[in-house]
Amino acid sequence: MSGPVLPSSGRIEAGRHVLPLRVYYEDTDAAGIVYYANWLRFLERGRTEMLRFLGQEHSALRAEKGVNWIVRRCAIDYLKPARLDDAIEIVTGCKELRGASLDVVQEAYRDTDLLVRADVTVACISETGRPVRLPQQIRQALQAVAGPYSPRSRHIRI
């Protein structure tokens, strides 16, 4: 072996980030399907790995710029269940970018079946909890996952 095997941060496909995941026993409930709250963990991984893939790791943003991410809003629709050992993909795209926040659309698929769809508003805050503008480097990086979504307001769309 020539070095450590690093986990995948996914890929960009059709202007959206795709993160493959596997459903483990710990992710399921007594009925053997993914417990509803665990979808939030999968979606968080999708957003985190999207930023990592784009060269914008959470830890570096916090250390270098004092920027922290928080979820301000999450609306989620559970459409079909996922089960133990299913291979799923978390698909993440940027819907709208504002001064200190962005709207993200996330979907979970098993093959071509849409399982979960979520609209998430993520905000940037300082170490003291005050809103801060999205750094320019993030705005530029997010161009790779800016989809053809219709914005919910008249704010700037990337």
pTM tops 0.75: yes
Q: What is the pLDDT of residue 31?
A: 94
Q: What is the pLDDT of residue 7?
A: 74
Q: What is the mean pLDDT of residues 119-139?
A: 93
Q: Which of 27, 29, 86, 111 is catalytic?
A: 29
11-145: which CATH topology? Thiol Ester Dehydrase; Chain A (3.10.129)
Q: What is the pLDDT of residue 8?
A: 83
The structure tokens listed for 47 are: 């957003």
The number of angstroms, rounded, from the C-alpha of 57 to the middle of its chain's C-alpha atoms is 13
Task: For residue range 34-48, list pLDDT tens digits in order.
Answer: 999 999 999 999 999
Q: How far is CA 153 from CA 81, 97, 108, 142, in A?
A: 32, 11, 25, 19
Task: For residue range 78-107, list pLDDT tens digits in order.
Answer: 999 999 999 999 999 999 999 999 999 999
29 catalytic per annotation: yes
